[in-house]
Chain A
């Protein structure tokens, strides 16, 4: 699927990946995250990686709270991790204490939880695969505020997007075409 793809991201840098449906953007990000093994090549990561998959990785019958407790289990400072996720959900306007299961959340709410869980490990590199699918316009802008804050904190962000307007918001735009990144 992917052919000769090469990407190096620096701390504090934001990179957007665009490209047609089926061109291999998600496959590439999955390989970068480590959840899919490449047929060849090497991924080297020197930092903690947060990954927000295109298809929300949520368990239908677990509540928001259940997901959070699971995500922060075993962390050195679970309270800090929980606080971080709560703040993020707060900024995205989703109440973290809602006693609802993932199946009961709306599409946009599920996606907000999906994004929030990806920062449970306080990542230095954040990989976002179409992170605002289903977001209302206000939440969409809030997420971009967050992304800008992350990069100014020295975190690197790679975001897959279909929106042309976002080219101005990031440091670099790369195009994926038939498994080749240019």
Chain B
């Protein structure tokens, strides 16, 4: 794996994204909109972190398509699928860390937050769960509309799933929600280890994303046999 090719892919993703100014404003505004919408319900922190995850998931999803026009050419020039994937993940991490840090600084000013470390954990799990979800959905669907519908479905389920139900645990933002709750209430519920299911779900989603991407990548061999 070549570091310079991987970083070049990351930079191309970020440049492409940086030219979508309106989209960036909307994606930055999304967690804030969720926050203010739930401001009076005491769920504002939880909603804001879900909004953050939603924003990261959309970036991840579109990153699977943004360089697709040039991917066959890059493969011919010696770019390996793994470099394309790692470069893409790095670009999402850059975006997520910057947005997450801004959001963390903002949410901390809210008096209801009693445990900043749980808030940080919530945002971190949101980044993990939604990045893998966006990449997996993007890797297995060919068209943006279908992919968006799947993501909207996932976020809707996240918002309506019963507290601690099996369904909620199977969703990629379970630990996000539990730690957001703990950020307000000071600690997780006794005996609760939400990270376990979220790490597992993210690992499965990540695996789906990697396998689907590798299987579908153009591969340029010296000898090609059909």
Residue of B nearest to A103 (CB): B19
Contact A70 B72 (CB under 8 A): no
CB-defined contacts of B4 to chain A, threshold 8 Å: 73-74, 78
Contact B76 A51 (CB under 8 A): yes
B221 is contacted by which of A34, A50, A58 (Cβ under 8 Å)? A34
CB-defined contacts of A34 to chain B, threshold 8 Å: 75-76, 218-221, 224
Distance in angstroms between the alpha carbons of A67 and B77 in the assembled complex: 12
CB-defined contacts of A175 to chain B, threshold 8 Å: none
Nearest-Cβ distance from residue B61 to partner chain A, whole angstroms: 16
* Contact of A69 with B by CB under 8 A: yes
A74 is contacted by which of B8, B66, B218, B221 (Cβ under 8 Å)? B8
Nearest-Cβ distance from residue B150 to partner chain A, whole angstroms: 24
CB-defined contacts of A45 to chain B, threshold 8 Å: 222-223
Contacting residues of chain A (14-68) with chain B, CB-CB under 8 angstroms: 31, 33-35, 37-46, 49-51, 53, 57-63, 66-67
B225 is contacted by which of A35, A41, A78 (Cβ under 8 Å)? A41
B224 is contacted by which of A37, A57, A67 (Cβ under 8 Å)? A37
- Contact count band on B: 20 to 34
CB-defined contacts of B5 to chain A, threshold 8 Å: 73-74
Do A74 and B226 contact each other (CB < 8 Å), given the known contacts A62-B12, A101-B19?
no
Distance in angstroms between the alpha carbons of A35 and B219 in the assembled complex: 7
CB-defined contacts of B9 to chain A, threshold 8 Å: 70, 73
Distance in angstroms between the alpha carbons of A46 and B221 in the assembled complex: 11
CB-defined contacts of A69 to chain B, threshold 8 Å: 8, 11-12
* Contact of B93 with A by CB under 8 A: no
Distance in angstroms between the alpha carbons of A74 and B3 in the assembled complex: 8
Render A142-178 as a binary contact track against B, CB cut-off 8 A, 1 for contact: 0000000000000000000000000000000000000
CB-defined contacts of A57 to chain B, threshold 8 Å: 69-70, 72-73
The 5 residue pairs across chains A and B that have the minimum distance between CB atoms: A73-B8, A38-B226, A74-B5, A35-B72, A34-B220
Where the two chains meet, the residues of A that have a C-beta atom closer than 8 Å to any C-beta of B are: 31, 33-35, 37-46, 49-51, 53, 57-63, 66-67, 69-71, 73-74, 78, 101, 117-118, 120-121
Extra contacts besides A34-B224, A38-B225 (4): CB < 8 Å: A42-B223, A59-B67, A62-B15, A70-B70
